[in-house]
Chains A and B, each alone.
Chain A
């Protein structure tokens, strides 16, 4: 690897580490600022709650709690969940693989559908392309939450797919069962991303088709297929890849709602439980792992972009 490219990746990795630190700290601070704490509730006697608060050190000022958490976090110890009385690392490890699986499947699905659809709508003007673009706009304007409910309702009425939940390995072959349970949340998550990619790709291809190099290819008499796939598509790819990192972030934030509605046992559902329970360390831990996945996604898209566009290396 060339030195410029290496320096670029070192900088991006440092940025990723900073992102993880800032996101987890901010999540912890916001959870602390929200009214109530892990021991506020009508099901726990206030005296028992006060004793527990004191025993676990939650009656100390936030800065002191944050300081000791940060010290431990540097040694990859994210503290202990108040709700579960288990190490946060253990809890997030159980769930993050499910979120990663859901996110990766949704991304692949969205890319496989969204990019070709964008090429199709960006390269010609027919009734079908207009209908596809309109459908994308509709899908984009419907939140994943609503899509999830719609799909769950469909599953419930038809019996084609399980109505949410997850039962990997419980009843039959692991991958077959996982696949059955994965379809619904993956589609719910993938649909708005696919629509975004379709819109982006369509616009980028339109712009690329107006590029002088592509027009020169047209003038040389190249076939339409060659112009679109060989010339315009490669040019348009830079724009799409540049936004891909942000899309990875959308996958994670989108999966939060989808996981809860479809009972997918991932990080989003755990984070929701942690927020409801005001479980500070678990909130921070979930946010940290979420930020790691986000940072990883951005890094991957940066690598892809750097490979596709060597000018970035020069900028670094």
Chain B
């Protein structure tokens, strides 16, 4: 009895391997033109806690992706060209005052439930985002210098948006705001129950949107299945109704290693965070050579990691390491680190050395003139001496005037590449005579230590929501809550921060782009000299998908491919 059973099992196994080979796409995907139909599977590491991006817990990457797939905004920033595109709005004009935009909405646009889209929905969305009771995580991003935009409707298709002051990025700000269906959410909003309205415990039929897809199924911890929105407003150049795909499944895969293996096995077609890790590059490349995967080099990443020192006055008052507040010390660190060694050892070559917060990937705002200091240990030692740090007792470690050795700790992200970079920094700084302790924590722990100001230095990274620096005021201005090295200052603590504030005001309020770029180049120059945060490397973003994925438009930001999911197609 056992033998026949074994034979059947083996036969099934052989057949299943045979079927698997037959399933593998033989033709390169790029040779086909996109056409409607088919489905793709993408992996995501977490699932949305809410379906409403405007809520305080709607800031997660998963909710942001859900919003990209199911909702639309008035205007979109194309993540490849970095240009602003008309989206739900078909056109706009800027008034002579430089403050008021008059905007016309596309005609005959409908929500996924067939309800017509009008200016009422836009007014409702702005009301929700600014409502203090909602406490939206997007509220600040939709304000200019702390003041909201006044939005009024002339009729069902015409809007005016009045900015509180001249704001150079202008309507790029609208890329943040999904337009919500008033007819679905107004009652809950009026009752103060918006948080419960689109929670995963509510029926999916209550959700309506203007995006390319509709959520058809969400099985907690397993998958989210999206089907085509029959009322989606976009068509391609040939007039084919978008999205091309009939179905898009997001398979929940919390572990990054498993995610990579699922892509290798073609169980998923792409990853939400599609950036290939250095350690996966060789395996993916091998499969790409066999025609099973497709790899694309996108660009240098836009949001590099940084080593930021704690320059808060309270920390300085403790006088634990007063030399940390000296520019020469920070410059010594920058000059004393071999960036190429980090590129080679940690990123296996898939990165470039950098010296400031804006990478070459951000073509519009990158300044090649910002100060740089390639590895020069003699210069670094001279700078340390200038900061009063020399080896006074011949033990190989530099000491301050009181004979105390220069020692500080770096808090970093446990289990991430950042932890390995921190180890390389530790080793390289030891060669300069500086002792470094690396403390690896999870992001929540790092954030708590940062908020409490309880750290010497942090090696971490922040993801900016936009390429235009004026849309990240919380980072650049000294009063900003994410002005990393010394946040929420009542008045600028240093003359150079005061100068950056002035320049950033100019960047934000000057309509002329070259003038804005010049002002921002000066900001980068100041940061390159003062180095409150030191930047070492920026990863090169490369993307991998199965050969089934057709018509990808990869961008450097997450989600690199799903940001334009309506034009993704499946190879036949």
Q: Is A82 a contact partner of B57 (Cβ separation < 8 A)?
A: yes
Kindly supply a per-residue 1/0 record for chain A positions 261-280, scoring 1 wherever the CB is within 8 Å of any chain B CB and 0 otherwise.
Answer: 11101100110110011100
Q: Is A83 a contact partner of B201 (Cβ separation < 8 A)?
A: no
Q: Is B195 a contact partner of A37 (Cβ separation < 8 A)?
A: no
Q: Is B444 a contact partner of A156 (Cβ separation < 8 A)?
A: no
Kindly supply a per-residue 1/0 record for chain B positions 428-442, scoring 1 wherever the CB is within 8 Å of any chain A CB and 0 otherwise.
Answer: 000000000000011
8 nearest A-B pairs in the assembled complex, by CB-CB distance: A265-B221, A36-B444, A36-B448, A35-B445, A156-B261, A40-B447, A156-B265, A159-B20
14 interchain pairs, CB-CB under 8 A: A34-B444, A35-B441, A37-B444, A41-B443, A41-B447, A44-B59, A45-B474, A48-B56, A85-B199, A159-B20, A163-B258, A163-B261, A263-B251, A265-B222
From known contacts A40-B451, A52-B135, A86-B201, infer whether A158 and B17 are also in contact, taking CB-CB under 8 Å. yes
Cβ of A43 within 8 Å of any chain B Cβ, yes or no, is: yes
Cβ of B200 within 8 Å of any chain A Cβ, yes or no, is: yes
With beta carbons under 8 angstroms apart, the residue of A86, A159, A276 that contacts B17 is A159
Within 8 A of A (CB), among B250-270: 251-255, 257-258, 261-262, 264-265, 267
Residue of B nearest to A154 (CB): B261
Cβ of B515 within 8 Å of any chain A Cβ, yes or no, is: no
Cβ of A207 within 8 Å of any chain B Cβ, yes or no, is: no
Cβ of B50 within 8 Å of any chain A Cβ, yes or no, is: yes
A165 to B57, CA, bound (A): 26
Within 8 A of A (CB), among B1-26: 13, 16-17, 20
**Closest Cβ of chain B: how far from A218's Cβ, in Å?**
32
Cβ of A175 within 8 Å of any chain B Cβ, yes or no, is: no
Given A165-B258, A263-B255, 9 extra CB contacts under 8 A: A35-B449, A42-B447, A45-B481, A48-B139, A152-B258, A156-B264, A170-B223, A263-B251, A278-B444
A207 to B199, CA, bound (A): 59
Which residues of chain A have a CB within 8 Å of any CB of chain B?
34-37, 40-48, 51-52, 55, 81-87, 90-91, 94-95, 98, 149, 152-153, 155-160, 162-168, 170, 260-263, 265-266, 269-270, 272-273, 276-278
Q: Is B261 a contact partner of A164 (Cβ separation < 8 A)?
A: yes
Kindly supply a per-residue 1/0 record for chain B positions 386-422, scoring 1 wherever the CB is within 8 Å of any chain A CB and 0 otherwise.
Answer: 0000000000000000000000000000000000000
Q: Is A35 a contact partner of B199 (Cβ separation < 8 A)?
A: no
**Closest Cβ of chain A: how far from B253's Cβ, in Å?**
5
Total number of A-B contacts with CB less than 8 angstroms?
159
Q: Is B261 a contact partner of A153 (Cβ separation < 8 A)?
A: yes
Q: Is A162 a contact partner of B252 (Cβ separation < 8 A)?
A: no
With beta carbons under 8 angstroms apart, the residue of A48, A166, A262, A266 that contacts B135 is A48
Cβ of B140 within 8 Å of any chain A Cβ, yes or no, is: yes
Cβ of B115 within 8 Å of any chain A Cβ, yes or no, is: no
Residues of A within 8 A of B195 (CB): 85
Residue of B nearest to A279 (CB): B49
A269 to B220, CA, bound (A): 11
Q: Is A163 a contact partner of B265 (Cβ separation < 8 A)?
A: yes
A44 to B253, CA, bound (A): 24
**Closest Cβ of chain B: how far from A85's Cβ, in Å?**
5
Q: Is B265 a contact partner of A273 (Cβ separation < 8 A)?
A: no
Q: Which of B50, B135, B137 lies at the interface centre, i.e. has the most chain A CB atoms within 10 A of its CB?
A: B135
A277 to B447, CA, bound (A): 12
Kindly supply a per-residue 1/0 record for chain B positions 280-301, scoring 1 wherever the CB is within 8 Å of any chain A CB and 0 otherwise.
Answer: 0000000000000000000000
Residues of A within 8 A of B60 (CB): 43
Cβ of B462 within 8 Å of any chain A Cβ, yes or no, is: yes
Residues of B within 8 A of A162 (CB): 267
A85 to B48, CA, bound (A): 11
A265 to B254, CA, bound (A): 10
Residues of B within 8 A of A261 (CB): 255, 257-258
Q: Is B20 a contact partner of A276 (Cβ separation < 8 A)?
A: no
Q: Is B265 a contact partner of A41 (Cβ separation < 8 A)?
A: no
**Closest Cβ of chain A: how far from B19's Cβ, in Å?**
9
Residues of B within 8 A of A160 (CB): 13, 16-17
Residues of A within 8 A of B20 (CB): 159
Cβ of B46 within 8 Å of any chain A Cβ, yes or no, is: yes
Cβ of B482 within 8 Å of any chain A Cβ, yes or no, is: yes
A269 to B45, CA, bound (A): 11
Cβ of B196 within 8 Å of any chain A Cβ, yes or no, is: yes
Residue of B nearest to A56 (CB): B56
Q: Is A260 a contact partner of B254 (Cβ separation < 8 A)?
A: yes
Residues of B within 8 A of A278 (CB): 444
Q: Is B196 a contact partner of A85 (Cβ separation < 8 A)?
A: yes
Kindly supply a per-residue 1/0 record for chain B positions 178-211, scoring 1 wherever the CB is within 8 Å of any chain A CB and 0 otherwise.
Answer: 0000000000000000011001110000000000
Q: Is B481 a contact partner of A163 (Cβ separation < 8 A)?
A: no
Residue of A nearest to B445 (CB): A35
Residue of A nearest to B196 (CB): A85
Q: Is A43 a contact partner of B199 (Cβ separation < 8 A)?
A: no
Q: Is B261 a contact partner of A272 (Cβ separation < 8 A)?
A: no
A86 to B201, CA, bound (A): 7
Residues of B within 8 A of A269 (CB): 221, 254
Kindly supply a per-residue 1/0 record for chain B positions 206-242, scoring 1 wherever the CB is within 8 Å of any chain A CB and 0 otherwise.
Answer: 0000000000000111110100000000000000000
**Closest Cβ of chain A: how far from B446's Cβ, in Å?**
8
From known contacts A44-B137, A156-B264, A263-B254, infer whether A83 and B49 are also in contact, taking CB-CB under 8 Å. yes
A115 to B49, CA, bound (A): 44
Residues of A within 8 A of B201 (CB): 86-87, 90
With beta carbons under 8 angstroms apart, the residue of A36, A48, A55, A165 that contacts B447 is A36
Residue of B nearest to A35 (CB): B445
Kindly supply a per-residue 1/0 record for chain B positions 444-479, scoring 1 wherever the CB is within 8 Å of any chain A CB and 0 otherwise.
Answer: 111111110000000010110000000000100000
Q: Is B262 a contact partner of A156 (Cβ separation < 8 A)?
A: yes
**Closest Cβ of chain B: how far from A270's Cβ, in Å?**
7
A42 to B55, CA, bound (A): 16
Q: Is B222 a contact partner of A167 (Cβ separation < 8 A)?
A: yes
Residues of A within 8 A of B267 (CB): 162-163, 165
Q: Is B57 a contact partner of A159 (Cβ separation < 8 A)?
A: no
**Closest Cβ of chain A: how far from B195's Cβ, in Å?**
6
Q: Is A159 a contact partner of B481 (Cβ separation < 8 A)?
A: no
Kindly supply a per-residue 1/0 record for chain B positions 304-336, scoring 1 wherever the CB is within 8 Å of any chain A CB and 0 otherwise.
Answer: 000000000000000000000000000000000
Q: Is B221 a contact partner of A95 (Cβ separation < 8 A)?
A: yes
Q: Is B135 a contact partner of A51 (Cβ separation < 8 A)?
A: yes
A35 to B450, CA, bound (A): 11
Q: Is A265 a contact partner of B135 (Cβ separation < 8 A)?
A: no
Q: Which of B17, B220, B255 lies at the interface centre, i.e. has the most chain A CB atoms within 10 A of its CB?
A: B255
A86 to B197, CA, bound (A): 11
Residue of B nearest to A83 (CB): B49
Residues of A within 8 A of B254 (CB): 260, 263, 269, 272-273
A263 to B548, CA, bound (A): 23
A278 to B37, CA, bound (A): 42
A11 to B258, CA, bound (A): 44
Within 8 A of A (CB), among B491-513: none
Q: Which of B219, B223, B258, B267 lies at the interface centre, i.e. has the most chain A CB atoms within 10 A of its CB?
A: B258
**Closest Cβ of chain B: how far from A59's Cβ, in Å?**
14
A152 to B267, CA, bound (A): 12
From known contacts A86-B199, A162-B267, A263-B254, infer whether A42 and B445 are also in contact, taking CB-CB under 8 Å. no
Q: Is B255 a contact partner of A42 (Cβ separation < 8 A)?
A: no
